[in-house]
Structure 1
Amino acid sequence: MNAQPPIPMMSYRGPEQVAFQRDELGVILSLYGRMVAAGEWRDYGISCLREVAVFSIFRRTAEQPLYRVEKRPKLRDKQGQYSVIGMDGRILKRGHDLRTVLRVLERKLIRAVD
């Protein structure tokens, strides 16, 4: 008779990577679609890493991103888990509500008419 060793209990370590939820992507892609229609943005990229999820916005594919929308769940109780970062690395807006944080980019859509 063969004795099988006990199966080790898997402990919960949390998610392997951070990702945007469906409703969060809906909000981001809604703004992205309006900016594409206005001719401002042309491409995007999504990165899901261990501590951060990043939605990068490009004017052209081969450039550095104009803006990055980041989700860092570890900052949820402190400064807010969402942030918009400019091309130069400055944090343009940070907060707990994604719609509020993205308003800094919606201002770019409003232009004066000559």
Structure 2
Amino acid sequence: MLEDEPIRLSLRRDPPAVAEPPKPPAPARISFNRDELREILNVYGRQVAEGEWRDYAIDILKDKAIFSIFRRTSEVPIYRIEKDPKLARKQGAYSVIAATGLILKRGHDLSRVLAVLDRKLKLVN
């Protein structure tokens, strides 16, 4: 090595990293928000006070949320309140479904849909 010769440094470079494709975001789970739960639990509380209903369950699925109402814990639900955003533009996101699978009410406004559960049968003599 001569005194006038420049010093050469060898920089070690890692091979370029292969860019991974961006991962799709995890699908958001559908759930009831605070206001929706308040409305549902108000109706549920009135029916529990009257002795009609005894238990409930909330199922949070990836495509819909379900609030199931039971007369007794060991039975199948007598009503299901479902929130399905895929139906929001067509028929309404909310529906009340009886144990037989019959859709009692469907719509865009939860309070109107829940009104079907507050109605009482009137007997005519």
TM-score (norm 2): 0.78
**Partner Cα separation in structure 2 for residue 30 and residue 50 of structure 1:** 26
Q: Is the 2:71–2:78 Cα contact (8 Å) retained in structure 1?
A: yes
**Partner Cα separation in structure 2 for residue 81 and residue 66 of structure 1:** 20
Runs of 4+ in 1 over 6 A off after TM superposition: none
Greater percentage in helix: 1
Query: Partner of 2:89 in structure 1?
Result: 77
Q: What is the letter of the counterpart of residue 32 of structure 1?
A: Y
Give yes or no for the alignment of 1:105 onto 2:88.
Answer: no
* RMSD of aligned residue pairs (Cα, Å): 2.1
Q: Is the 2:27–2:62 Cα contact (8 Å) retained in structure 1?
A: no
**Partner Cα separation in structure 1 for residue 53 and residue 14 of structure 2:** 64
From 42, 46, 49, the equivalent of 1:34 is: 46
Identical positions, percent: 55
Query: Partner of 2:80 in structure 1?
Result: 68
Q: Report how far residue 2 of structure 1 moved.
A: 5.1
Structure number with larger C-alpha Rg: 2
Count of residue pairs the alignment pairs up: 110
Distance 1:45 1:84, change over 3 A: same
**Partner Cα separation in structure 2 for residue 29 and residue 4 of structure 1:** 57
**Partner Cα separation in structure 2 for residue 28 and residue 3 of structure 1:** 59
What SS is found at the alignment partner of 1:47?
A: strand
**Partner Cα separation in structure 2 for residue 67 and residue 32 of structure 1:** 11
What are the ranges of 5 or more consecutive residues in structure 1 without an aligned counterpart?
none
